[in-house]
Amino acid sequence: MTDDAAAVPPVGRLAPSPTGVLHLGNARTFLLTWLCVRARGGTLLLRIEDIDGPRVKDGAERSTLDDLRWLGLDWDGVLLRQSDHLARYGALVDDLLARGLAYPCVCTRKEVEDAASAPHEDWLDTAPYPGTCRGRFASPADARVATGREPAVRFAVDVDRVPFTDDFRGAEKGRIAGDFVIQKRDGEPAYQMAVVADDHRQGVTQVVRGDDLVPSTPRQLLLYRAFGWTPPRFAHLPLLVGTDGRRLAKRHGDTSLGAFRARGVHRERIVGWLAACSGLAALGEELDARALLERSRGEPAILRKVPHAPVVVRGDEF
Ligand code: GLU
């Protein structure tokens, strides 16, 4: 980041998907996102990413907000809920279709996976799209009539790399494999479309999120380019993992904040531990989010202290 960029207070966001309860892993990402913005006097927005159809769970929005507040994290203004803005995302998709930058696609996920000759490489989060439907239909209506299937919409990718500088990871090659979905067959926007539309509309200048989303960033940068919008800066942080080295999940036991709370673990222990495994406190130190903020205020390089190796959760931390 240049000194000039560091001098302007950032606009960041917390963007939880209400698909379950917050666990230590999400909590660390949110704590660091909050800290990076607040320490530089920036604005932090809250966006509920609730358009992920079947994965969204009743009650998860409420429990996420409760957990964020319990951790001591705050945000500015009213929250934005993506499901309230479906028409807006649809209009952007229509614009890309009209400009020939996107096209209807009737392939199922299984068909795309079967078409991939070998298991896809580690760096990619889905099987590369072989381009079956590119140039095949004049419009979504045409695709529907021709196949009897409800089409999704894909963005047409004509490059194989969109290099970018990650504020945590450094130079990224930004590899991208094929056309990606921007609108699902049920008409809902895909994550890539909604997140770009909202980050732009909300004036977000700094995105701090988990490194599971690294493969998404080049796709999002292409959407920014297509709309002529300035992208935010990105920092992708390593996720917490279990003792098997895999991303922290239910199989590693209950690391939800709710479970610790129910056992009477104080938030200062949790925040202290999250700060310690981020290089921002000593192990065993107890402190709340405010105290951590006071310690970090004005610090332009908080992320430089965060270790690059994944943090292993053993299950006996609290
Ligand atoms: N809602 C996404 C998630 O919870 C985060 C998206 C983002 O930060 O871009 O994984």
Nearest to 239, CA basis, from 226, 222, 252: 252
- Tokens linked to 98: 């009209």
Mean pLDDT computed over 36-40: 95
Q: Do 42 and 204 meet the contact criterion of CB atoms below 8 Å apart? A: no
- Tokens linked to 134: 């590119």
Looking at the domain assignment, is residue 160 inside a domain?
yes
Cα(305) to ligand 1 centroid in Å equals 23
Cα(17) to ligand 1 centroid in Å equals 6
Nearest to 305, CA basis, from 284, 276, 283: 276
Closest ligand 1 atom to 207 CA: 8
Number of domains present in the structure of the chain = 2
Distance from C-alpha of 134 to C-alpha of 155, rounded to nearest angstrom = 10
Residue 134 main-chain phi, psi, to 5 deg: -65, 125
* 298 Cβ contact partners less than 8 Å away, ≥ 6 residues apart: 39, 40
Distance from C-alpha of 231 to C-alpha of 205, rounded to nearest angstrom = 7
Cα(193) to ligand 1 centroid in Å equals 12
> DSSP strand E in the chain: where?
11-14, 43-48, 80-81, 102-105, 152-155, 164-166, 170-172, 180-183, 206-210, 233-237, 240-241, 311-312
Check whether 119 has a pLDDT greater than 70.
no
Residue 210 burial (CB count, 10 A): 17
Cα(224) to ligand 1 centroid in Å equals 17
Which residues is 166 bridged to in the sheet? 170, 234
| 315/92: higher pLDDT | 92
Cα(32) to ligand 1 centroid in Å equals 14
Select from 65, 67, 191 the residue to mutate for testing ligand 1; criterion: most ligand atoms less than 8 Å from CB. Answer: 191
- Which protein residue has the closest C-alpha to ligand 1 atom 6? 15
Residue 262 main-chain phi, psi, to 5 deg: -60, -30
Among residues 110, 184, 250, 305, the one annotated as catalytic is 250
Pocket of ligand 1 (CB under 6 A): 15-17, 49, 195, 209, 213
Q: Do 22 and 56 meet the contact criterion of CB atoms below 8 Å apart? A: no
Check whether 302 has a pLDDT greater than 80.
yes
In this structure, are 64 and 117 located in the same domain?
no
In this structure, are 124 and 44 located in the same domain?
no
pLDDT band at 315 (very low <50, low <70, confident <90, very high): confident
Q: 172, 191, 210 — which closes off a domain?
A: 191
pLDDT band at 182 (very low <50, low <70, confident <90, very high): very high
Check whether 162 has a pLDDT greater than 60.
yes
Looking at the domain assignment, is residue 208 inside a domain?
no
Looking at the domain assignment, is residue 205 inside a domain?
no
Check whether 53 has a pLDDT greater than 70.
yes
Closest ligand 1 atom to 216 CA: 9
Give the pLDDT confidence score for residue 5 in this predicted structure.
56
Classified as helix, coil or strand, 249 is coil
In this structure, are 92 and 179 located in the same domain?
yes
Looking at the domain assignment, is residue 186 inside a domain?
yes
Looking at the domain assignment, is residue 170 inside a domain?
yes
- Tokens linked to 185: 């067959």
Mean pLDDT computed over 104-127: 82
In this structure, are 54 and 91 located in the same domain?
no
Classified as helix, coil or strand, 196 is helix
DSSP 229: P
Give the pLDDT confidence score for residue 6 in this predicted structure.
61
In this structure, are 72 and 112 located in the same domain?
no
Mean pLDDT computed over 109-119: 82
Q: Is 250 a catalytic residue?
A: yes
Closest ligand 1 atom to 47 CA: 1
* Domain, as residue range, for 162: 86-191
Q: What is the CATH number of the domain that holds 98?
A: 3.90.800.10
Task: Give Cα 23 distance to the centre of its chain.
Answer: 16
In this structure, are 96 and 183 located in the same domain?
yes
Check whether 1 has a pLDDT greater than 70.
no
In this structure, are 74 and 91 located in the same domain?
no
Check whether 25 has a pLDDT greater than 80.
yes
Q: Do 239 and 265 meet the contact criterion of CB atoms below 8 Å apart? A: no
- Tokens linked to 199: 């980050």
Mean pLDDT, the chain, whole residue set? 93
